[in-house]
Structure 1
Amino acid sequence: MKKQHIIEVNKDLCIGCSLCKNDCPVNNITIKDKKSVIKNQDCIKCGHCAAICPTGAITLTGFDEEPIEYSKQPTLNPDELLMAIKSRRTIRKFKNKKVSEEIIKQIIEAGRFTPSAKNTQDVSYIVLDNNKDKYEKTAVTFFRKIKPIVSLFMKSAKEIEIDDDFFFKKAPIAIMVVTKDKISGSLAASNMALMAESCGLGVLYSGFFTVVANRSSKLKKELNLKHNDNVVTTLVIGYPDVKYRRSAQKETANVRYL
């Protein structure tokens, strides 16, 4: 169950500058007697009011940590970032090397701080580590059974060989992204993949495992997934055992300026 969050205004610190009022996306703040006043607590709790306040007069209760203070907006080198995106390749060969708990937490943090629809923050994560092989075995058994059916709709499926490492490719970990909103989950996964690669890791989006996780009642039970839980994607993560020297070739972007 989510914690309750209350927006509080410290009248002693508030200078009535109206920055919070002008930036509130749902018009939930007014100025009265030169002080900010929250109209109601039924907003999306985006925290823009607390972030923009020059004196720190506005706070949101119920969180386990304080917001990060910064005087200058952090920036990334655009050329380096674009090159990192262009040089990214799906990895299917991994070294026999564990991913540290610290790096896993960094990857999760990249997902946690990704924007979500209406600030619902309803994305959760399942890290498959020590028992990963158990879940992969269940998924392989299920996928072998449905392969003939999949082949009817996907011609390339006939040529697929489903070995024991079919889903995770012997990678040390996999992270499942679970949420009702596919867009929120996909955005989180994208940031997580970028963070993983900045740590020297390679990533495979395992769409097949995601399908099985949403279809196999046995696997859902083993993973302790609820009936209405939706696995958006599964990131297979590890240190690459392959080196690519050229970027992927992509079609020219289809862009219209109106």
Structure 2
Amino acid sequence: MKINERDETMSKHEVIINKEKCIGCQMCIKDCPAHNIEFKDKKAAIIDKECIMCGHCVAICPKNAVIISGYTDHPIIREKDVNLNPNDILNTIRFRRTIRQFQKKNIPQSVLEQIVEAGRLTHTAKNMQDISMIVLDKEKSRVERMAVQLFRRIKPFANLFSSMIKRTNITDDFFFFEAPIAIVIASKDPINGALAAQNMEFVAEANGLGVLYSGFFSMAANHSRQIKRILELPKGKKVITTLVLGYPKVKYQRSVQREKSDIKFL
């Protein structure tokens, strides 16, 4: 995958306005972040083919008069407003724990597809759509062995700087804890990758899964040519994080304390 891949991909898309459907309401003009739509002859008109293809014009048009060409899927009509319960969301965050003990239970393909879809739909800066996801299933044990070998080589040096590291045993399942699936998330922009991971975690937890962010494996993947080769990591992208997924073997009974917020209202 080339560094300029997004530019090549976006060049395949074009914003098209159906003049017969357009009623000249100018809602797309007011909402366009690229200021790429004008009011001409009482209709909306695209100014330039150079566009970030964010799709705001498609989403806001009351008459479905705007489309973006070159996609295999179609926009989904919003039938009703979905209002999330804020207390439920806060409690999901409040009681969330990193899981390191997993059941020996496979994750259904339909659940995996929902999690990956959450990553695909994540809003990205400048609509880069630069998220790559590598689902580790059959190759999971192989890449974990490589990461374990790497960490075992560097551990004697790390022991000199941290007593916690010195107490840590690099076991054969040090990275994935025998979980059934791990998903590597890579992107050009680290914030985009982090946002995708958060969205994917919410969908995973909604399906009853536990999640571990394996920063250690992400570190190993970014430093090992062998692991990069197996992952087929796209050029120009870096592993941002790795989601280790499985059904929890444990249940936590309460939240834990946190420091007060460092927040200012100016």
Shorter-chain TM-score category?
A: over 0.9
Equivalent residues of 1:178, 1:229 under 8 A apart: yes
SS in 1 for 2:82: coil
| 1:175-214 mapped onto 2 (5 Å cutoff) | 175-214=183-222
Displacement after TM superposition at 1:153 (Å): 4.6
Query: 2:143 — aligned with what?
Result: 135
Structure 1 residues 227 and 123: alpha-carbon distance in aligned structure 2, compared to 1, 3 A threshold: closer
> Runs of 5+ in structure 1 lacking a partner?
none
Unaligned runs of 5+ in 2: none
Residue identity over aligned pairs, in percent, reads: 50
Instruction: Give TM-score, length-normalised by structure 1.
Output: 0.96
The answer on 1:108 being equivalent to 2:116 is yes
Paired residues of 1:125 and 1:178 also in contact (CA < 8 A): yes
**Residue 219, structure 1, aligned to residue 250, structure 2:** no
The one-letter code sitting in structure 1 at the alignment partner of 2:86 is P
Task: For 1:155 and 1:20, locate their aligned partners in 2 and report how far apart those are by CA, in whole Å.
Answer: 59
What displacement does 1:82 show?
Answer: 1.1
RMSD: 1.3
Q: Distance in 2 between matches of 1:249 and 1:64?
A: 47
> Whole-Å Cα distance in 2 between the matches of residues 122 and 83 of structure 1?
31
Task: Quote the residue 1:124 is aligned against.
Answer: 132
How far apart, in 2, do the equivalents of 1:230 and 1:130 lie?
22
TM-score norm. by structure 2 comes to: 0.94
Q: 1:169 to 1:46 in 2, by over 3 A?
A: same
Q: Is residue 253 of structure 1 aligned with residue 261 of structure 2? A: yes
Q: Work out the CA distance in 2 between the residues paired with 1:87 and 1:182.
A: 26
- What is the alpha-carbon distance in structure 1 between the residues aligned to residue 233 and residue 128 of structure 2? 20
C-alpha deviation, 1:76, in angstroms: 0.9
**CA–CA distance in structure 1, aligned partners of residues 43 and 162 of structure 2:** 62
In the alignment, the residues of structure 1 paired with residue 15 and residue 248 of structure 2 have an alpha-carbon distance, to the nearest angstrom, of 45
Matched, 1:144 2:152: yes
Preserved contact between residue 8 and residue 59 of structure 1 (Cα < 8 Å): yes
Q: How does 1:11-160 map onto structure 2 within 5 Å?
A: 11-160=19-168
1:70 aligned counterpart, secondary structure:
coil
Name the SS for the 1:231 alignment partner: strand
Find the aligned partners of 2:193 and 2:232 in 1 and give their Cα distance.
19
C-alpha spacing 1:154/1:60, structure 2 compared with 1 (3 Å): farther
Structure 2 residue corresponding to 1:7, chosen from 1, 15, 38? 15
Worse-superposed segment, 39-48 or 233-242:
39-48
